Each structure stands twice: as C-alpha cells, then as structure tokens.
Chains A and B, each alone.
Chain A
Amino acid sequence: MYLYEFEAKNVFKNYGIPLAQSGVATSPQEAREIFDELGKPAMVKAQVMAGGRGKAGLILPVNTSEDAQKAAETILGRYHQGEKVQRVLVEEQIKTNKEAYASITMDFAAGMPVVMVSSQGGVEIESVAQTQPDKIAKLYLNPWLPLHSFQLRELAIQAGLRGKIALALEDILGKMIKIFNELDAVTVEINPLIITEDERVFAADGKLITDEEAAFRIPELNVVERERVDAYAQKANEINVTYVSLDPQGTIGIIAGGAGLSMATMDAVYALEGKPAAFIDLGGGISRERMKETLVLMARTPGLEGIILNVFGGINNCLTMAQGLADFMDEEHPKFQLVVKMRGHEQEEGWRILEHYNIPTVKLETTDVAIRLLMQTVQEEGRSWA
C-alpha cells in the first residue's frame, strides 16, 4: 500500500524520526487554524499519490494566516495525475542549509534491500543517480545478518556527511530500517532530508510503500479510506480477483487465468481489431462460487456484447470453473455472447458441462481462434442469447 505523506510521517513520528511540526487540513479554514497554531512560516503541501507536486504548484510557501488559507483554497480540489486533492499538510518551514537523501528500498532484480544515502538530495536525485552514481552511497542488507549501527555511520561518511550529521543519520537510518522490517515495506524514503545550519537533521518529506501480501501480519496502519475510482475494481477486490478497466467504448470482456494470459488475450483482441472493455485475472485457487461471482461482475460492465473466458486447468481446475459458469447461466440468463477456451486438469468433465449448456468451446485451438469466434458470433447474432 502506498501511504500519503502525512500517513508516512505519522509512522515516522511513532518511530522517533525527527520531523517538522505539521497538521492536516481538509478545508482552507482548517489550514488557517493549523498555521495559527504553528505561529511561523509554513509550507502548504497537497496530499496526493503521484510525485512532481512542486513543479505542479501544489507545494506553496506561506507567511501569514491569510496566505495559508489562500494557498489551501488554491490547492484543494485540484487534480494531480487524475487524483483530486482532498487534504493539505501545513508544515513549519525549517531553514535549510543542505538537502540530503536517505532511503531503504527493495532491489527486485538483486533480491535484496538496499540502503541509499546522498548528500545531494532534493528533486534532482534521479539525475544525480544517473550522472554521478558515486554520489549515492549504497549498502545492501543480508536479511539474515545483524546490522550494526557503525555500518550506517560508515555509509553516512561515504556519502560525505560527517560529525554530528553522521551520528544523526545513523539514528534515522536505523529507524527507517526498523520501519522497513516491521511493516514489511518495499520502500521507506526521505527526500529531502533537511540539514540545518546548526547541524540538526529533519525529514521534510516521507514516502512509505508496504507490501500488501504481508497485510496478514503487519499491524494495522492508521490510514484514511482509499478512494477507489473504479467500483468494479473494488468489487473484484472483494472476491479476490483483479479487474482492469480498458476501453470505455469496449464491447468485449476478457476473463483469463493469470496476469500474463489476461494481458496477452487483451493484446490479441486489440490486434484483431476488437475493443476490450475490461479484463479480469482470476488468479489461482478459484472456487465454483468465485467463478460465478466473477462472471456476474464482468456481465455488469456497460456496453458488453461478448465475453471470452480463456482459462487453464493448472493451478485452477476445469470442472470447478465450468460448474461456476453453469451456476451463472442458470441464475443470470445472460444476454450476450460467450466463448470459452479451456483446457487442462479435468478438461473432459468441464467440457461436458459446457456442451450441456451449448456454450461454444474452443478446446484444442489458440486464443486468436477463440477471439475470432466470439467476434464473429457477436456480429452474426448480436447480443441475444439463444
């Protein structure tokens, strides 16, 4: 899960990472009140998922209550990369001498977490990484070995941060790693990490992404309700499948087993000049009930003329999937065309059910053959189900 800046900072605060004082506002009036409480120059920062807030004018410095209210008025309700700004963080301005960078993130290809520190933090960190890679000190962590605090101090020194600052970094990095481990994070990042004239260090931003597969064991995070733009995706989440909306004018629904086959089927529909409305990836361990629910969900997609069910009995089972499909036919009496391509474990048993329901079934042919059959049937017979 991707946490908002203010949520990440709440976590940071609980772990004792030094932060500027701040408060979250959902209205200009609230922003003004928070400013008055802080009683000093502040930044008003939009709380959104995507980066690039500064360049989009969604981070504004304010010096008076009036300013704070106006800045919040400007920012709240604006859209940033498709997301409506619903909250702003009003945060005290800290006089900066230097902007550094600190993170711990999962290097997926290496299969190991890596701690990174640089004295050249800020918005240009990515170009620093490209043009002066030696300016970013890295430490890969073996998950089985203890990490000693001197290693973190050494990393700070390697990044050119010395004395009191190195000591502060040792402390902050240790806490970031603790968060990373205890919350099953894939990224904990502070950019910029502000260094003041008197060599104190503060987290000016906070990024925290946790691994949703580990939700069963991590403490519940105090986060605001996520707005799911897509009601279908929301419903899919409840029945433990993945729904991806594609073309709003699309007429073909794709249900497939596995992300790879779902995407390849989508690619094939486009290549055959069809318009996919959405696909659902069944994932593994599909039950009869969930198969039916999946079909019900796909059937609700507006504008649908046909569904292709492209599945394998591998981690799933053909008989179970066919039974779910039969339940769907009995209960919903669908008004669109349906083509099934199915083979694998217990295929004969599954095919027998499909035959009983007169569902066109592609047994020993390719995905393209099944898509062509569906498109042809839709064209010839329209939406009405025989």
Chain B
Amino acid sequence: MGLIINKETKVLVQGATGKQGSYHVRSMKEFGTQVVAGVTPGKGGQTVEGIPIYDTIKEAKEMHDIDATLILVPAPYVLGAAVEAIENGVKLIIIITEHVPIQDTVKINSLADSKGCTLVGPNTIGIINAHEGVKIGIMPAFLYGRGKIGVISRSGTLSHETASNLMFRGLGISTVVGIGGDQVIGADFVTVLKELREDLHTEAVVMLGEIGGNREELAAAYLSQCIYGKPIFCFIAGRNAPPGKKMGHAGAIIQGNSGTVQSKETCLQQAGVVVATSLEDIVLKVLEWSQGISGEGVI
C-alpha cells in the first residue's frame, strides 16, 4: 500500500480507547477518513465514536477490510502492536507514538520490509491527503488547505506551520507525509519523494528537515541521479543550534559534518533543490514559484 491514501483506504486504530485515541478517531472520521475498527487488548466489545473495538487484529480482520493502521499505544507497547499488525497482513503501519526504543523500531522496520509493508514513523503526525479529504494521523486538518504542494517533514509542528502559512497565502497542499523525528524511521525523504513524483495532484514538493543524521543528504543523492520532473523546496531547522546538544527529537544530534545545516543545504542545492533560509522564506519561495515570478524550475 502506497503513501498516497484516499477515501477508500480502510483504517484501523490501535489505542483508540484512550482520551487521545477517541479524540483522533473522531477527528479523522469528521475529516472523511474511513476508520473501520479499533484494537485495544482487554476492551473488545466496546465502541468508540461509533467504531467497534476488538481484542485482536485477527478478529477485526474477520469483520473488516483493513488497509492501514494508526498506532497510538504507549511506547513500551508499540513493538507488540506493530508486529501484530504486520503479521496480520496490514500493509501500511503509521506509528504516532514518541519515545519508542530504537531497537524496537529496528525490529518493526526489518519485519515490515520482509513482509512488503510500509512503515511511517515512529514519532510522526501521520499522513494527510488534503486533495482527497482524508488523513491517517493527528494533524489538525483545518490547517491544511487543499492544493498542489506535497510536503515531507521530519517535524510535525513544522509541517503544521508550513501548511497553514501556505494556506493563509492562498496555497494548498496535496499530500503531507510526516516521516518522524527519530534516528531510525521507516519511510524516509527518498521513499516519499518517489511517491510524490508519481502523484498527479502534486506539482511541487516541500522538504522540511532538521540538523542531525544524513536523511537530507540521502535525498540529495537520489535527486541528483534522477530527473524528478517537479520543483522541490527545502528548509532545514537548527542553523543556530549549539553543537553537540541533544535537542528533544532523538534525531537532532549533530553527527560530525554530515548532519549540519551547511552540509544538508549544500548537497540539496547541488541537486537542484531551492533552499529557503527560514520558515517565512520557504513560503515566499513557493509563492513566487506558483505566481510564476521566480524562474525556479523543475529538477
């Protein structure tokens, strides 16, 4: 199952019965997502916001088609929840939970790979397709206007900020994928870039990165080897970050030269990406492109 979700995508929620869980089930349903069932071990038989809760995914699968699962369970239970989903043939696994141990993510990722599943996260806001009016995630959908710009972000709040700032200036988004802020994640910039390239509703792509790791560098390597066919804009947060400090997101640790803002911007620029220097600047650059003012072209 790809990352461009639609009205037909049938969604399971693992951890739907908590206060957060039921809030987001309601919010997804109101936006137009087909949330078909929830799984919380020990709470089978209950209903939340009109959806049935089961003790196991196996039972849920007997009653419903399930294409994707949204995992909201506490960090110590994420490994078990994700493995249950993968072993039951759910093809898109989205993990919202933060503070998941790295070795658990490694296990989930490796199992997902071997079974042909796509993992998004952990520590992500999920996916929203504003064009279709569907989301599997926790983002406030009213901050995401409908339009033609795809967004890939390591940070949830940077995604909210950029999508809403674009909307206030009359621009909208097609699909946003939060890839998550952890050091080990499933789908990365490259995975999502490939899908947005094929997406007919996406005419340009915004990448929101951060210091630390080498995922932006890997995206640059991919982009320099292909004819992408759409313009790409990026913003990297953390140019003034004190070196070597751990900044909340596990991913944001400066690792030698490869993780600095300079290294990422240089690589991306060389690959033809339009590099913005601030949150304000990225919106202006996209606006100029959409109005045909800037000559920023297609890579």
- A residues sitting closer than 8 Å to B (CB atoms) are 106, 108-109, 111-113, 142-144, 181, 184, 186, 211, 213-214, 216-217, 242, 244-246, 256-264, 266-268, 270-271, 281, 283-285, 311-315, 343-345, 347, 364-368
Do A258 and B143 contact each other (CB < 8 Å), given the known contacts A213-B100, A267-B239, A267-B278? no
Kindly specify which of B51-59, B205-213, B262-270 makes contact with the partner chain: B205-213
CB of B248 within 8 A of CB of A258, answer yes
A123–chain B nearest beta-carbon distance, Å? 16
Task: List residues of chain B with CB within 8 A of the CB of A216.
Answer: 75-76
Contact of B106 among A106, A259, A264 (CB under 8 A): A106
Contact of A242 among B104, B114, B248 (CB under 8 A): B248
Do A344 and B183 contact each other (CB < 8 Å), given the known contacts A112-B106, A271-B278? no
Do A268 and B247 contact each other (CB < 8 Å), given the known contacts A261-B161, A263-B252? no
Give me 25 A-to-B residue pairs in the complex whose CB atoms sit less than 8 angstroms apart, sorted by A's number. A106-B183, A108-B183, A111-B109, A111-B110, A142-B110, A143-B103, A184-B102, A211-B102, A211-B103, A214-B103, A242-B248, A244-B242, A260-B154, A260-B155, A260-B158, A260-B210, A261-B237, A264-B161, A266-B241, A281-B248, A283-B248, A312-B160, A366-B161, A367-B280, A368-B279
CB of B102 within 8 A of CB of A144, answer no
B216–chain A nearest beta-carbon distance, Å? 11
Do A242 and B247 contact each other (CB < 8 Å), given the known contacts A213-B102, A263-B238? yes
For the complex, give the distance between the alpha carbons of A128 and B238 in Å. 31
Task: List residues of chain A with CB within 8 A of the CB of B20.
Answer: 285
CB of B98 within 8 A of CB of A365, answer no
B153–chain A nearest beta-carbon distance, Å? 7
CB of B140 within 8 A of CB of A344, answer yes
CB of B103 within 8 A of CB of A344, answer no
For the complex, give the distance between the alpha carbons of A184 and B103 in Å. 7
Task: List residues of chain B with CB within 8 A of the CB of A213.
Answer: 75, 99-102, 250
Task: List residues of chain B with CB within 8 A of the CB of A262.
Answer: 247-248
Task: List residues of chain A with CB within 8 A of the CB of B257.
Answer: none
For the complex, give the distance between the alpha carbons of A284 and B110 in Å. 27
B141-195 CB contacts (< 8 Å) to partner A: 143, 153-158, 160-161, 164-165, 168, 181, 183-185
A260–chain B nearest beta-carbon distance, Å? 2
For the complex, give the distance between the alpha carbons of A231 and B208 in Å. 32
B200-231 CB contacts (< 8 Å) to partner A: 208, 210-211, 213-215, 218
Bits for B111-130, please: 1 = Cβ < 8 Å to A, else 0: 10010000000000100000
Contact of A258 among B23, B155, B218, B240 (CB under 8 A): B155
Task: List residues of chain B with CB within 8 A of the CB of A181.
Answer: 103
Contact of B125 among A111, A314, A347 (CB under 8 A): A314
Task: List residues of chain B with CB within 8 A of the CB of A108.
Answer: 183-184, 213
Task: List residues of chain A with CB within 8 A of the CB of B75.
Answer: 213, 216
B233–chain A nearest beta-carbon distance, Å? 15
CB of A217 within 8 A of CB of B278, answer no
Do A258 and B157 contact each other (CB < 8 Å), given the known contacts A106-B184, A263-B237? yes
Task: List residues of chain B with CB within 8 A of the CB of A344.
Answer: 140, 143, 160
Task: List residues of chain B with CB within 8 A of the CB of A268.
Answer: 278-280
Task: List residues of chain A with CB within 8 A of the CB of B71.
Answer: none
CB of A365 within 8 A of CB of B155, answer no
Task: List residues of chain A with CB within 8 A of the CB of B241.
Answer: 244, 263, 266
For the complex, give the distance between the alpha carbons of A367 and B157 in Å. 12
CB of A186 within 8 A of CB of B102, answer yes
CB of B110 within 8 A of CB of A112, answer yes
8 nearest A-B pairs in the assembled complex, by CB-CB distance: A260-B155, A259-B249, A281-B248, A214-B101, A258-B157, A259-B248, A261-B157, A242-B248
CB of A264 within 8 A of CB of B248, answer no
For the complex, give the distance between the alpha carbons of A242 and B249 in Å. 9
Task: List residues of chain B with CB within 8 A of the CB of A217.
Answer: 76, 101
For the complex, give the distance between the alpha carbons of A367 and B282 in Å. 12
CB of B107 within 8 A of chain A? Answer: yes
Task: List residues of chain B with CB within 8 A of the CB of A261.
Answer: 155, 157-158, 161, 237
Task: List residues of chain A with CB within 8 A of the CB of B143.
Answer: 312, 343-344
Task: List residues of chain A with CB within 8 A of the CB of B101.
Answer: 184, 211, 213-214, 217
For the complex, give the distance between the alpha carbons of A211 and B101 in Å. 7
Bits for B256-287, please: 1 = Cβ < 8 Å to A, else 0: 00000000000000000000011110010000
For the complex, give the distance between the alpha carbons of A284 and B249 in Å. 11
CB of A257 within 8 A of CB of B140, answer no
CB of B105 within 8 A of CB of A111, answer yes
Task: List residues of chain A with CB within 8 A of the CB of B164.
Answer: 343, 364
